[in-house]
């Protein structure tokens, strides 16, 4: 029976394309089965092997620039500190301790007796060289870390930031600040890290083969080897798990979850994360410079309908970027939405419906909407928005792109984009606000330059007291909300499915950073 909330465009879209997509997925799956390494959990020689299937592919494993964070997720590299997801605090990892009472002069003590995969010692000089390479390779890292100079002595780092920056240590959680041995220079194909697994081969866009690092500082894994492969087709990922070709699948097709659970021996985990699906608005486009138009876009988004019909309840509606449970998330008043409300906002902007076309001064209102298939729900959200906009005379052209970060940063020929972002992966609001709304932010795809908002973020960056930081973060999020700088659609849960008869100690993390660990095992 069709749900009252099931959107007509979804039904039409899925009905018309279901057979085609199934055929394509089966073909992809056949190719995948033929070309992928045969990877049962235990190989014929008795070795323990795990095959993990991820939804984003990458053509480069350079940890300092790879936006898919595969080296860290695959257990090749590690960072100086990591996120304690239970307490939302920063915990030691390669670093043993740190101090920096003035927020500008930092002393970081490294753990000793840690080896890189090539046997070289990870000391302060090696870490300094790695951090300096990350700074040289990425303007985003320069802006995020604000490092002025680094000094190395034995196993101690002395780091001075350009200005007081109390959250400096939390920025070291960033996978793009992973520590590697820079004396080895094939960063794209074989980075040398300190993690529990050594990279043995890399087929760009396809898979990695990994072997246990016996000298791993935190105790060697019980697994002998891991295959970390990619497939951006959600249905193909589901079929791979059902067939037993893989052991763990990241983000299987949502519609397949009941059949996966019914098959037996498969466990499905749905975990709330720090992620938000948002409608990014290009503030450089003339129409979107009018706040009434941005309010109309926001009003056209029926969040609960999208949660129920696309994510099948594995999400919650979003008003702002942060989960309501986070201490720095504002409390918002309910706002009206729907086609009539959107049309009213457009009337306030000078638009009117003429012969079924929303127009102003004879010029129709049209949007180019970017989306990408690696997150299967985003194209469907785009389809729903396109349908709802059409009801009030707005034509929306949907354009599929491959790597959203690259496209949005390099091209300004678009108006809107469905985009998914981790908003508090460090357990703090500073990362998202700096990256997305500060003029120097690496993810400021909307082109936001709001002096008042920038001043709030700058003040946040200088503030140590956590209560004051939370208040400033709320103030910034309120500014974004009131001025409709981007719209927020929903907070999706991360869904992982795996063979529970084989896989032991899998943990679905809220940060989505830590996947292939030394604790993983198979029966």
Separate counts of helices (H) and strands (E) for the chain: 15, 23
Range 169-175 average pLDDT: 93
The structure tokens 């063979």 sit at: 499
pLDDT average, residue stretch 385-396: 97
CB neighbours of 517 closer than 8 A, spacing ≥ 6? 75, 196, 221, 505, 507
Instruction: Find all residues with CB under 8 Å of 185, minimum gap 6, and list them.
Output: none
pLDDT band at 5 (very low <50, low <70, confident <90, very high): very low
Q: Which residues pair with 416 in a beta bridge?
A: 281, 369
Residues in contact with 231: Cβ distance below 8 Å, sequence separation at least 6, in sequence order: 28, 32, 53, 54, 55, 57, 237, 240
| Secondary structure class of 125 (helix, strand, coil) | helix
- Higher per-residue confidence, 23 vs 374: 374
Instruction: Give the mean model confidence (pLDDT) for residues 110-130.
Output: 98
Residue 33, pLDDT above cutoff 70? no
- How large a percentage of the chain has pLDDT more than 90? 76
Tokens of 65: 């620039």
Confidence (pTM): 0.81
Q: What is the pLDDT of residues 104-114, one digit of tens each?
A: 999 999 999 99
> Which neighbouring-strand residues pair with 95?
110
Lowest mean pLDDT segment, chosen from 86-95, 180-189, 193-202:
86-95
- In this prediction, residue 43 carries a pLDDT of 53
Q: What CA–CA distance (Å, rounded) separates 90 from 92?
A: 7
Q: What digits encode the pLDDT tens for the residues 208-245?
A: 999 999 999 999 999 999 999 999 999 999 999 999 99
Per-residue confidence (pLDDT) for residue 217, from 0 to 100: 98
Alpha-helical runs (H) found in 326-450: 339-348, 377-390, 404-410, 430-437
Q: Which residues have a Cβ under 8 Å from the Cβ of 352 and sit 6 or more positions away?
A: 346, 358, 359, 360
Six-digit token string for 155: 């196993």
Contact yes or no for 257/495 (Cβ under 8 A) = yes
Could you give the CA distance from residue 86 to residue 198 in angstroms, rounded to a whole number? 28
Percentage of residues of the chain with pLDDT beyond 70: 91
More confident residue, 262 or 340: 340
Q: Which of 163-172, 481-490, 513-522 has the lowest mean pLDDT?
A: 163-172
Locate all alpha helices (DSSP H) within 58-107, ordered by sequence.
Answer: 70-73
Question: Is the confidence at residue 57, as pLDDT, over 70?
Answer: yes
pLDDT at position 86 is 81
pLDDT attached to residue 376: 86
How far is the C-alpha of 477 from the C-alpha of 70, rounded, in Å? 30
- If pLDDT is split at 50, 70 and 90, which confidence band does 140 have? confident
Backbone angles phi, psi at 355, to 5 degrees: 55, 40
Q: In the predicted model, is pLDDT for residue 206 greater than 70?
A: yes
Contact of 234 with 53, CB cutoff 8 Å: no
Q: Tokens at residue 416, please?
A: 């809107």
The confidence score (pLDDT) of residue 185 equals 92
**What pLDDT shows up at residue 183?**
97
């Amino acid at each position: 029976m069709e749900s009252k909330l099931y959107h007509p465009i979804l039904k039409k879209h899925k009905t018309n394309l279901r057979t085609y997509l199934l055929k394509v997925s089966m073909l992809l799956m056949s190719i995948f089965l033929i070309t992928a390494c045969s990877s049962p959990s235990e190989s014929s020689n008795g070795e323990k092997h795990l095959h993990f299937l991820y939804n984003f592919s990458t053509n480069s494993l350079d940890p300092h620039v790879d936006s898919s964070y595969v080296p860290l997720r695959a257990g090749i590299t590690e960072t100086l500190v990591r996120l304690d997801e239970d307490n939302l605090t920063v915990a030691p990892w390669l670093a043993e301790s740190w101090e920096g009472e003035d927020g500008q002069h930092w002393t970081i003590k490294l753990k000793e007796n840690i080896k890189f995969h090539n046997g070289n010692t990870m000391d302060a000089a090696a870490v300094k060289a790695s951090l300096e390479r990350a700074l040289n390779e990425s303007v985003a890292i320069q802006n995020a870390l604000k490092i002025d100079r680094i000094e190395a002595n034995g196993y101690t780092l002395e780091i001075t930031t350009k200005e007081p920056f109390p959250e400096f240590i939390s920025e070291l959680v960033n996978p793009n600040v992973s520590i590697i041995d820079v004396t080895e220079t094939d960063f794209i194909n074989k980075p040398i890290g300190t993690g529990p697994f050594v990279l043995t081969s890399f087929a760009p866009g396809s898979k990695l083969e990994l072997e246990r690092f016996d000298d791993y500082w935190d105790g060697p894994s019980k697994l002998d080897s891991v295959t970390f492969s990619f497939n951006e087709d959600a249905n193909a990922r589901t079929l791979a798990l059902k067939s037993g070709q893989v052991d763990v699948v990241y983000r299987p097709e949502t519609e397949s979850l009941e059949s996966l659970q019914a098959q037996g021996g498969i466990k499905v985990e749905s975990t709330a994360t720090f992620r938000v699906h948002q409608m990014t608005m290009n503030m450089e486009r003339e129409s979107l410079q009018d706040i009434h138009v941005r309010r109309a876009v926001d009003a056209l988004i029926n969040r609960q309908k999208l949660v129920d019909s696309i994510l099948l309840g594995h999400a919650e509606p979003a008003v702002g970027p942060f989960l309501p449970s986070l201490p720095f998330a504002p409390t918002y008043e309910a706002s009206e939405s729907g086609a009539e409300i959107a049309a009213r906002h457009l009337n306030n902007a000078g638009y009117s419906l003429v012969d079924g076309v929303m127009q102003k001064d004879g010029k129709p209102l049209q949007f180019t909407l970017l989306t990408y298939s690696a997150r299967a729900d985003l194209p469907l959200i785009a389809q729903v928005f396109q349908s709802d906009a059409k009801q009030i005379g707005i034509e929306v052209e949907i354009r599929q792109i491959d790597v959203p970060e690259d496209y949005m940063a390099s091209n300004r020929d678009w108006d809107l984009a469905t985009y998914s972002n981790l908003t508090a992966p460090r357990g703090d609001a500073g990362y998202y606000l700096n990256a997305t709304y500060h003029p120097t932010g690496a993810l400021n795809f909307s082109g936001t330059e709001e002096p008042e908002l920038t001043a709030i973020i700058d003040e946040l960056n200088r503030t140590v007291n956590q209560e004051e930081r939370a208040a400033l973060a709320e103030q910034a999020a309120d500014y974004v909300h009131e001025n409709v700088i981007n719209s927020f659609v929903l907070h999706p849960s991360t869904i992982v499915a795996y063979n529970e008869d084989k896989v032991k100690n899998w943990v679905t993390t809220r940060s989505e950073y830590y996947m292939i660990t030394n604790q993983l095992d198979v029966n």
